[in-house]
Amino acid sequence: MKKAVVLLSGGLDSATVVAMVKDQGFNVYALSFSYGQRHSVELTAAKNIAQNLSAREHKTATLDLRIFGGSALTGDIEVPKDRAENDMAGDIPVTYVPARNTIFLSFALAYAETVGAKDIFIGVNALDYSGYPDCRPDYIAAFENMANLATKAGVTDVARIKIQTPLIDMTKAEIIQVGISLGVDYGKTISCYDPDTQGKACGHCDSCLLRKKGFAQANVADPTVYYRP
């Protein structure tokens, strides 16, 4: 069986990616990060998802991005609430973590190289997160090009390393519909940037607002438990 490394945050998007990758016949090597995020309950969610969707292996890399600061997700800046979608689509938000996807993909590359996987999956989405520079297709293509020069595999193997982004052009509603058809239990996923310690969602950060709207548009009952509905 082919092997794939899948970045798994514990959120709705990456859980769907795991299900899609399994459905394509890959053995899944899931990778999560404990990086000093506020919303570390997502790591429990990641573990449950990896188990439920029968990932072959699940590793959590510990690294502390708080040493650099500069983001609402790792620092003291407050997570913005109840923003209009126009505002989300504009400037790069304070929840942006400098170089986060580059760091995460670099670890995925190390993991892929050690297990002999050629395919790395990341659940970035150009529609919902246009404010994050490291979610754009150009960026992903540049990372892939670099990855093939960075590694033993790039030097010695014929098969290229591929960075795959199956969600890149999908709406949140489409992602949810695909996930439901593949048996994803979204009640086990956490998307909130500011959850409470039990993993209940705030219901008002950008991520919660997009998720709520996604369930509504997909016409699927929202299984999320909110602490401030």
Query: Residues in the site for its own copies, rule: CB under 8 A?
Result: 59, 61-65, 67-70, 92, 96-103, 105-107, 109-111, 113-114, 133-134, 136, 138-139, 142-143, 145-147, 149-152, 154-156
In the complex, minimum distance from the CB of residue 88 to its own copies, in angstroms, rounded to a whole number: 16
In the complex, minimum distance from the CB of residue 139 to its own copies, in angstroms, rounded to a whole number: 4
In the complex, minimum distance from the CB of residue 71 to its own copies, in angstroms, rounded to a whole number: 9
Choose between 66 and 200: whose C-beta lies nearer to its own copies. 66
Choose between 160 and 228: whose C-beta lies nearer to its own copies. 160
Ramachandran area for residue 73 (φ above 0: left; ψ -120 to 50: alpha; else beta): alpha
3-class DSSP assignment, residue 182: coil
Our measurement of the distance from residue 70's CA atom to the centroid of its chain's CA atoms, rounded to an integer in Å, reads 20
Q: What angle do CA 224, 201, 178 make, to 5 degrees?
A: 40
In the complex, minimum distance from the CB of residue 74 to its own copies, in angstroms, rounded to a whole number: 10
Choose between 26 and 143: whose C-beta lies nearer to its own copies. 143
Choose between 146 and 220: whose C-beta lies nearer to its own copies. 146
**Token couple for 189:** 């996923």
Choose between 96 and 129: whose C-beta lies nearer to its own copies. 96
CA atoms within 13 A on the CB side of 195: 24
In the complex, minimum distance from the CB of residue 147 to its own copies, in angstroms, rounded to a whole number: 7
Task: Give the position of tokens 């795959």.
Answer: 164
In the complex, minimum distance from the CB of residue 50 to its own copies, in angstroms, rounded to a whole number: 15
Q: List strands edge to edge, sheet with 162-164.
A: 27-34, 3-7, 119-121, 162-164
Residue 40: Cβ within 10 Å count:
14
Choose between 59 and 83: whose C-beta lies nearer to its own copies. 59
CA neighbor of 210 nearest in space, from 93, 131, 96, 129 = 129
